[in-house]
Structure 1
Amino acid sequence: MKKRLGISIVALAAVGGVIWVYGPEIREMFTPNAAGTTKVATAQQGSAQAPIPVDIRTVAIGAVRQQIEAIGSLRSDESVVLRPEISGRVSEILFEEGQPVKRGAPLLRLDAAIARAQVNQARASIILSRANFSRAKELATRGAGTQRTLDEALAKLSTDEATLALAQATLDKSTLQAPFDGILGLRQVSIGDYVNPGQAIANIESVEQLKVDFRIPEIHAQVIAAGQAIRVRLDAFPNANFDGRVYAIDPAIDPNGRAVILRARLPNADKKLRPGMFARVTLIVEERPNAVLIPETALMPMGRDIFAFRVVDGKAVQTKLRTGLRRAGEVEILEGLKAGDSVVAEGAQKLRDGQYVRESKLASGS
């Protein structure tokens, strides 16, 4: 007990000595100055206000666009398989496979001997019918003929005229003509073949410009419209892009894939693109060339709101934002910032509103 008492007396003596020696300095540190603050508080405040190093970026202006990716196929602007409307034996083939052809050019003829004979027969019959009708009409005018005879002559003339028209149509259909300007495909018949109505002869394709058919999920139905631009990439031309424009949208949703079918036109003046090619399509829904952009890393989601720290006079000011479209690593700002503002791009997580910040040496050096 006496030992503990002695130790306590020694400790109190040591504390008293420290106070006696450093008393004035201690009293000065805790004595308020004219501003009402002590040296201890001032030191703590200075430590708290030391600028925090962060990556500071300037708000930029750039182009952004909303786009939808899809896949599709190239189609001919016009495409048809030539097929005869009558049966017959092929007598002439007037085209070369794979060659261009003009609209109305004869491509194939069937043996028309029978059709030609039927035309001649109808013409001979119609000559007699016209003579009989003229005679019956003259007699009726004189009152020497009956009205019935005149009616029968007129009916026979009309029947022979119809027979001639039918025979002439059959003769005309023995020659197949190109329905439009295009390039002929591979023929499926040879001279001497007997063909039936509807049998495939050859395909003809119009490829001065092509169509692109592609599908967009129905969730985007409200943002698509005729006139929107597309950019097409093809496996056959991996280093090239081809621009076109949507001109038609199917009014019905495809129930199998719940998608909207769009059709666009694609120029093909050099004819290097071919129908049937697989296409990777980018539909450009909206494009804004003067968008306000900041790095995505500057955003700080808080509940349903999004904030960023704007740097004003060396201080980080928490600012609420309204964002728009995005592109690689950047986001469009619709409200809250303007071009030329400075924002904290990295390091915002360690900041509080109103803290002093400075440019990080690491960020400025990079």
Structure 2
Amino acid sequence: MRRRWLGRAALAAAMAVCLATSGCQRKEHEAQASTPRRLKLDTVGAVTRPIPDTLLVTGTLEATTVNDIAANATGRVVAIHGERGDQVKKHAALAKLDVRLAALQAAAANAQAKVASDQAELQAQECARTEKLAASGAVPMAEWERQSWQCKIAKSTMAASQVQATMAAQYVSDGTIRAPMDGHLVERFVEVGQFVTPTTKVATLVSLDELRLRISVPEIQLGGLKKDAAVTFRVAAYGARIFSGTLARVSPVVRPETRDVLAEATVPNGDHALRPGMFATVELQLGTKLASVVPSSAVVVREGTSRVFVVRDGRIEERAVQLGPRVGNEVAVLKGVARDEPIVREPGEEVKNGLFAE
């Protein structure tokens, strides 16, 4: 009986120890769960410094040089060169006309010019001989005067013949219609077999090396416009790529209907990426102003909104911000961040609003 009682007591003691141990472990787990996870983050303070004061406007790219090329000759087209979009060099042939008749006329004009030249030379020799005879009294002065007039007529006839020969050669040359400049072919308006006249438009050529950005600036911002001011812009075709130009011209009048002024910037386009007609979102520099600046890497875009993560009182705050211009590897924050506030330099996916930070 006593042994049975001792066995039961030992079993009860063992169960008490087990329950006590499980309770301790549960408390340890609960304590660990109640301790919040803290992220170790690299932060940087928002710095106030002068940044470009820019005006956001819209604009349209236009060609600086556009040439509508006329035939400048009469004839039937026998060959064409180039199609829409082709790049052509200055003096490159765009079309050729049938110049067989013009070539025959040029040959006849050259022959006539040679005859006139020979006649003028012969007449000059005769004039020189008559002048000597007149000086010695062998021939009357009237004969000398007549020969002198003949010499002048022969010279004029030779000059006229040479002009006719030059014109005939030009007609032959005009039979090849050439590009007046380096550029791209926008449109070709003639086909083989078509009869053209000097006023017939053959093609349109545009230069893409330098474009003109036409922008509308509100009247209230007119005082900030300065010639040679920097202009940056983006176009839809190239996403985040930034293009630049220089403000070159400002209209002297304000348009009464829209209360704005037209301005033009010159835009270098060496790689021909930009095209006339493109719509542009433009930042026009008006001067400088003070603003908070943070590293560009601190800004993330979520749900279409620019955001930064601020560490405040040991916790992470996700804030929507309004961005200004970019300067190198930094970007201005116009709204949403105060001076010297600690900003997470490179927030990863694990950085979320409300978490604790070391």
Task: Normalising by structure 1, report the TM-score.
Answer: 0.59
Higher mean C-alpha displacement, 277-286 vs 244-253: 244-253
CA shift in 2, pair 1:292/1:256, >3 Å: closer
CA shift in 2, pair 1:152/1:96, >3 Å: same
Matches within 5 A, 1:32-47: none
Residues 301-329 of structure 1: CA distance to partner in whole angstroms, max 9, x if unpaired? xxxxxxxxxxxxxxxxxxxxxxxxx9723
**C-alpha deviation, 1:225, in angstroms:** 2.2
Matches within 5 A, 1:144-155: 146-155=147-156
**C-alpha deviation, 1:256, in angstroms:** 6.0
Look up the match of 2:92. Answer: 105
Q: Retained in 1: the 8 A contact 2:59–2:214?
A: yes
**C-alpha deviation, 1:242, in angstroms:** 1.9
Q: Retained in 2: the 8 A contact 1:94–1:108?
A: yes
Instruction: In structure 1, list runs of 5 or more residues that go unmatched.
Output: 1-57, 295-325, 332-338, 341-364
Q: What's the secondary structure of 1:190's corresponding residue?
A: coil
**C-alpha deviation, 1:231, in angstroms:** 1.7
Look up the match of 2:334. Answer: 328
Residues 252-275 of structure 1: CA distance to partner in whole angstroms, max 9, x if unpaired? 555665543322233434433221
Look up the match of 1:121. Answer: 108
**C-alpha deviation, 1:134, in angstroms:** 0.9
CA shift in 2, pair 1:292/1:99, >3 Å: closer
CA shift in 2, pair 1:120/1:102, >3 Å: same
Aligned mates of 1:99, 1:247 — CA distance in 2: 30
**C-alpha deviation, 1:149, in angstroms:** 0.6
Residues 38-70 of structure 1: CA distance to partner in whole angstroms, max 9, x if unpaired? xxxxxxxxxxxxxxxxxxxx9952233322232
The one-letter code sitting in structure 1 at the alignment partner of 2:165 is: L
CA shift in 2, pair 1:59/1:128, >3 Å: closer
Aligned mates of 2:252, 2:98 — CA distance in 1: 46
Q: What's the secondary structure of 2:240's corresponding residue?
A: strand
Look up the match of 2:70. Answer: 83
Task: Normalising by structure 2, report the TM-score.
Answer: 0.60
Look up the match of 1:277. Answer: 278
Look up the match of 1:44. Answer: none
2:147 equivalent to 1:141: no
**C-alpha deviation, 1:129, in angstroms:** 0.8
Look up the match of 2:180. Answer: 179
The structure 1 residue matched to 2:118, chosen from 92, 107, 131, is 131
Q: Retained in 2: the 8 A contact 1:64–1:327?
A: no
Aligned mates of 2:104, 2:278 — CA distance in 1: 48
The count of corresponding residues between Structure 1 and Structure 2 is 245
Aligned mates of 1:180, 1:255 — CA distance in 2: 39
CA shift in 2, pair 1:149/1:82, >3 Å: same
Q: Retained in 1: the 8 A contact 2:190–2:202?
A: yes
Matches within 5 A, 1:1-366: 60-143=47-130, 146-251=147-252, 257=258, 259-287=260-288, 291=290, 328-329=334-335
CA shift in 2, pair 1:174/1:258, >3 Å: farther
Aligned mates of 1:330, 1:173 — CA distance in 2: 68
Q: What's the secondary structure of 1:275's corresponding residue?
A: coil
The one-letter code sitting in structure 2 at the alignment partner of 1:76 is: A
Instruction: In structure 2, list runs of 5 or more residues that go unmatched.
Output: 1-44, 131-143, 294-331, 341-356
**C-alpha deviation, 1:156, in angstroms:** 0.7
Taking only the aligned residue pairs, the percentage that are identical comes to 25
Residues 161-183 of structure 1: CA distance to partner in whole angstroms, max 9, x if unpaired? 22122222222222111222222
Higher mean C-alpha displacement, 178-187 vs 59-68: 59-68
